[in-house]
Structure 1
């Protein structure tokens, strides 16, 4: 039997989907059964997740590398721990049916947001939060999303462009000028995932949640634009991310494209917005360093 006992405790929804799908795939590849602890989102899916009664005395296995590799779990009870972020782990027999939403939940969302589908659609997912200026993560500026729209799609007027983000205010400040643009707000993560999986094309950020909306929504004719990488600096050297993005997705490098002069206002605004964010990040980091030094001096734990 194989499980992932930390489900719901290690990362948010995007991470949890990887943990479930990969655990099942690893179990099936090793001809093992699988089970999971209670999962708060299971009620939204058709698939029935078997719950574990106990994992006491199970062998705990920690992920050895960020990239895909073969787990040796053929015999015995194993509790996996890691990120498991590659579709290469996934089960071929279950595939996308694993996360088929219940019809009443899905239909209710589609009815409420029917106006988004009046044209062909492009979903742009912008990850901000703790990724911004974090040296471990590859930084994506507004130019990544804008140049991806301008150079990977023809005739943007023919599309509804939908933005979803953990900082929708950032999206509004940078992209409100686009034609037929919409900003998703006040949605629960599971609602974002369901609705997000129904669009035609995707521009994804270096976020697992972004990854999953695109992966679940991918069809034969779908175009998925993705960043060059997810990690940066020393963290990138220590973690092989070559299996993270599917090879069929289109890599986009914002530095290969120049914005026309008609976007000069956005360029100026974007520059000072990024500068302000960097200053705020550095100040917050310095405060934390000073605070920790004071704790060390006074012996506070």
Structure 2
């Protein structure tokens, strides 16, 4: 049995599911999702909820009894069990990704495995890339106004700009990218692409409308197009041909799921405020980092 702990927002859950799905496939085993983080989040954690029900997957959820086998969910020996698991002394196996980098133990793990981490690299699921693209492809709600905007986006040399602000404004770990980053990205794409049309998606629409007001080739997409759990936003973003993304897993997935054969993706060189954190496994090598 493979159990993956889900935590964070939609983008993080997509990474966690993809890693768990790949390991279950490799081991010919069942994948189960641990949702306990959402019912008992740690202090200071931004409240989130399970959102993978928006995709074409058929999840199974770990029971309390199954989680206790891994030293989770109220087991009195949880700490001792996890220490032994981390040292490789006992089964089941407990795997984490403490430093963002790809953990080579991942592909060697067998038996009952508990995954506790963010797993933000295509290296974890590259063997089943086609399956992940199919299962995590946003379909859109089918609303007429969303469909019309989608056709407009697909009919132009569209560039998705995603601006992440919200909780990142006061987050010293992630940090918030400013207009200098997005302006530099636009210059690079305008120098190599013709007739570009920019579509801005953000959690702070009012700020974006003020900042991009002088750009006639730019449309700031309001939250009337967001849809439930922002799935229409993800659908529209993925429909673009090119991307300028911030340090956001949600935007990462929009760019990665885009199937345009000539897509260009610009991503930040510094994904976190701390420049010592190695994110070379997080961003695909074909994307340009600035």
TM-score normalised by the chain length of structure 1: 0.71
* Residues 1:123 and 1:66: Cα distance change in structure 2 (over 3 Å): same
* Residues 1:240 and 1:106: Cα distance change in structure 2 (over 3 Å): farther
Whether 1:105 aligns to 2:141 is yes
Aligned partner of 2:69 in structure 1 is 57
The equivalent position to 2:55 in structure 1, one of 37, 42, 45, is 45
Whether 1:223 aligns to 2:267 is no
Tell me whether 145-154 or 195-204 shows the greater mean CA deviation: 145-154
CA deviation digits over 1:279-299, x for unaligned, max 9? xxxxxxxxxxxxxxxxxxxxx
Structure-to-structure mapping, 1:78-227, within 5 angstroms: 78-93=113-128, 94-102=131-139, 105=141, 110-113=146-149, 114-132=151-169, 134-137=171-174, 139-154=176-191, 158-186=195-223, 187=226, 188-227=229-268
* Residues 1:167 and 1:25: Cα distance change in structure 2 (over 3 Å): same
Q: CA–CA distance in 2 between the matches of 1:51 and 1:137?
A: 30
Q: Is the 8 A contact 2:164 2:176 kept in 1?
A: no
Q: CA–CA distance in 2 between the matches of 1:14 and 1:159?
A: 27
* Residues 1:157 and 1:62: Cα distance change in structure 2 (over 3 Å): closer
* Residues 1:64 and 1:134: Cα distance change in structure 2 (over 3 Å): closer
Q: CA–CA distance in 2 between the matches of 1:30 and 1:240?
A: 29
Aligned partner of 1:278 in structure 2 is none
CA deviation digits over 1:5-32, x for unaligned, max 9? x32xx21111111111112223334454
Query: Is the partner of 2:200 in helix, strand or coil?
Result: strand
* Residues 1:109 and 1:247: Cα distance change in structure 2 (over 3 Å): farther
Q: Is the 8 A contact 1:47 1:97 kept in 2?
A: no
* Residues 1:150 and 1:62: Cα distance change in structure 2 (over 3 Å): closer
Q: Is the 8 A contact 1:204 1:225 kept in 2?
A: yes
Structure-to-structure mapping, 1:275-294, within 5 angstroms: none
Aligned partner of 1:273 in structure 2 is none
Q: Is the 8 A contact 1:123 1:196 kept in 2?
A: yes
Whether 1:3 aligns to 2:3 is yes
Q: Is the 8 A contact 1:26 1:71 kept in 2?
A: no
CA deviation digits over 1:72-113, x for unaligned, max 9? 5643322211111111111423241121345x7357675242
Aligned length: 245
Q: CA–CA distance in 2 between the matches of 1:166 and 1:89?
A: 29
Q: Is the 8 A contact 2:154 2:239 kept in 1?
A: no
* Residues 1:245 and 1:218: Cα distance change in structure 2 (over 3 Å): farther
* Residues 1:108 and 1:215: Cα distance change in structure 2 (over 3 Å): farther
Structure 2: where are the runs of 5+ without partners?
A: 36-48, 71-91
Q: Is the 8 A contact 1:227 1:251 kept in 2?
A: yes
Tell me whether 199-208 or 63-72 shows the greater mean CA deviation: 63-72
